[in-house]
Amino acid sequence: MAKSSNPEGKPGVRIVVAGDRGTGKSSLIVTAATETFPTNVLRLLPPTRLPEDFYPDHVPITIIDTSANPEDRGKLAEELKRADALVLTYACDQPETLNRLSTYWLPELRQLEVKVPVIVVGCKLDLRDDQQQVSLEQVMSPIMQQFREIETCIECSAYKHIQIPEVFYYAQKAVLHPTGPLFDQESQTLKPRCVRALKRIFILCDHDRDGALSDAELNDFQVKCFNAPLQPSEVVGVKRVVQDKMVEGVNERGLTLTGFLFLHALFIEKGRLETTWTVLRKFGYNNDIKLSDDLIPHSSVKRAPDQSVELTNEAIEYLRGIYELFDGDLDNNLRPVEVEDVFSTAPNSPWNDVPYKDAAEKTALGGLSLDAFLSEWALMTLLDPARSLENLIYIGYPGDPSSAIRVTKRRRLDRKKQQSERNVFQCFVFGPAKSGKSVLINSFLGRPYSDMYSPTVDDRYAVNVVELPGGIKKTLVLREIPEDGVAKLLSSKDSLAVCDIAVFVHDSSDESSWKRATELLVDVAGHGEDTGYEVPCLIVAAKDDLDPFPTAIQDSTRVSQDMGIEAPIPISSKLSDFNNIFRRIVNAAEPPHLSIPETEAGRSRKQYHRLINRSLMFVSGTLIVWHPTTVSFLMHSELRVLETWFAMLELL
């Protein structure tokens, strides 16, 4: 195996040695550093550095000696919290120091929340009474069962130079090649995240996609990870080892995924964790078994507040292929287990949690259609582009990740051009409690009407494809804003920057619901005017199957005309009469300069600006006809007036 140069980019490993007084801490450190047993040793050593070439990983080690005296407890705690790994000592000739590990030291580490690998070291092996010989495994097994943070145990003798280098090798190894992320000691199996990562690596190396690594593919894998080819006899030997233990690990085409995972479990069981870690790191994984940040092109998703991120056609076509690959029976229904299989090479399925969980329409069989599958991807790309890119990489996207997404033009530029080129529109859904917001969103996802009322506590998302005339498809994202969340939303200047269109829902049979919806409309429109992020707005009169309140038509006509937007759109979720509402939402969002409401304050501001502009034009015209001898003085005077007016405009 090739040398692993500075895994994880660590500048060095800091190992703290702790334990009861007289257990041999200082002698252990001096002997490791000088290969000589000290006849006189300081009570507390200064930091001791082992050079880079001391161990094969070429990472320097700094060893910190500590004092167990009560007066030094504060300093000890400080050093423990700075440690990358901890060597915890006891004296083989003093059984009480071994007992102190479980009664004091290990509980103290937990109390201090020191979460690093622990190497338990029995020092002074040469002084142990031969009459009290007990196997290390027998002594340590109960302690290791109770304290899983113990990585390994070893006994040594500084005086006789027995296993001294091994102590700090194991400590360094526990930092650079930790067991915890890879292997479950209790069940003696690879951990799920490790399995997912190795499965992805296997698929990437299976170039012909036949479900097995051929001899050539296995050799390519070896060269990539360890910079050295396998000899034909070695390939045969690897497959024989697997086949002897697990028949299904090898078939006529080569090493199967089962066999590949078995090999790594075997390496780990034999203490060869560096082998599996080298493989993982060659494919970009960090100590959390996630792709390193430098593999995700974060710079490609930088954007202004009123820009959004969408998948490119190239990425969408790739996802179509993924859908067809995993929809085994080609019934346009990706079952939940098949969705999990899509993400089986990612650390976890990103759609198991909010806001993605239940955000897309389900088929009658509880799965996802192709449109719903692509909608979920569109939602993730809109809300968290980096996560979307990351998961595209995990599921094997072959191209440059930055080619999978595009950043849209700024919304204010779209307004100037009076046309939006976006394929994904985000709609904020406002309205008072019990106005019908949730029912509207449920209907968007094809869910049946229900009279049961369940208040929405947090923002909720729903995404679906809306088909426009001519077969054009757009993706619409509805974000339901609870009534008591509006004030918090509008407390942020950029809160409306991500909104393409806002819908205000009210119960058409309830006058108080209408008044509250109108108040919300004025608040949102005013916030847009104040911040420059004006958005098109529509009013939705829900529960059209009920009798409207007496002045409904008169009031709604007056408000919509005063604010310059379309009259309320009546719908009835109970009667499944939606009046093409979702298509109308997209149609209103596409020309972003229309359907923008105007408040009284906004109208007054515009009138004032027009008045000021006319005054400035008049002043400019007057200056032209003044006599040249007075122009200089008058220009200076008038400029002061203009500066005052411009200052007033800035305040507005």
- For residue range 516-526, what is the model confidence (pLDDT) as tens digits? 999 999 999 99
DSSP summary character for residue 18: E
Cβ-in-10-Å burial (0-12, 13-18, 19+) of 645 comes to: middle
- For residue range 347-389, what is the model confidence (pLDDT) as tens digits? 999 999 999 999 999 999 999 999 999 999 999 999 999 999 9
In this prediction, residue 220 carries a pLDDT of: 95
Q: What are phi and psi of 612, to 5 degrees?
A: -60, -45
532, 474, 533: which is closest to 501 by C-alpha?
Answer: 533
Q: Does the pLDDT of residue 493 top 80, yes or no?
A: yes
**Low-confidence winner among 66-70, 517-521, 557-561, 632-636 (lowest mean pLDDT):** 632-636
In this prediction, residue 627 carries a pLDDT of: 45
- What is this structure's pTM? 0.82
Q: Does the pLDDT of residue 1 top 50, yes or no?
A: no
In this prediction, residue 626 carries a pLDDT of: 41
Confidence at 633, pLDDT banded by 50, 70, 90: very low
**Positive or negative: CA dihedral 267, 272, 277, 283:** negative
Q: Quick one: average pLDDT of 126-154?
A: 84
- For residue range 406-427, what is the model confidence (pLDDT) as tens digits? 999 999 999 999 989 999 999 9
Share of the chain above pLDDT 70, in %: 91
Q: Does the pLDDT of residue 59 top 80, yes or no?
A: yes
Q: Does the pLDDT of residue 187 top 80, yes or no?
A: yes
Q: 8: left (phi > 0), else alpha (psi -120 to 50), else beta?
A: left
Confidence at 271, pLDDT banded by 50, 70, 90: confident
Q: 177: left (phi > 0), else alpha (psi -120 to 50), else beta?
A: beta
* 604-622 burial code (b ≥16 CB/10 A, e <16): ebeeeeeeeeeebeeeeee
Find all residues with CB under 8 Å of 429, minimum gap 6, and list them.
Answer: 437, 440, 441, 478, 479, 480, 481, 502, 503, 505
Q: Does the pLDDT of residue 139 top 50, yes or no?
A: yes
- Give the strand pairing for 309-311 and 405-407: antiparallel
Q: What is the largest CA-CA distance in the chain?
A: 120
Q: Rounded distance, CA 280 to CA 286, Å? A: 8
Q: Rounded distance, CA 592 to CA 429, Å? A: 17
Q: DSSP letters of 467-508?
A: EPGGG-EEEEEEEE--GGGHHHHHTSTTTTTT-SEEEEEEET
Tokens of 292: 């390193």
Q: Does the pLDDT of residue 502 top 70, yes or no?
A: yes
DSSP β-bridge partners for residue 476: 425, 464
**Contact between residue 593 and residue 534 where contact means Cβ atoms under 8 Å apart:** no
In this prediction, residue 3 carries a pLDDT of: 38
In this prediction, residue 649 carries a pLDDT of: 47
| Residue carrying structure tokens 């479980």 | 102
Q: Rounded distance, CA 459 to CA 477, Å? A: 12
DSSP summary character for residue 298: G
- For residue range 2-44, what is the model confidence (pLDDT) as tens digits? 334 455 556 789 999 999 999 999 999 999 999 999 988 888 9
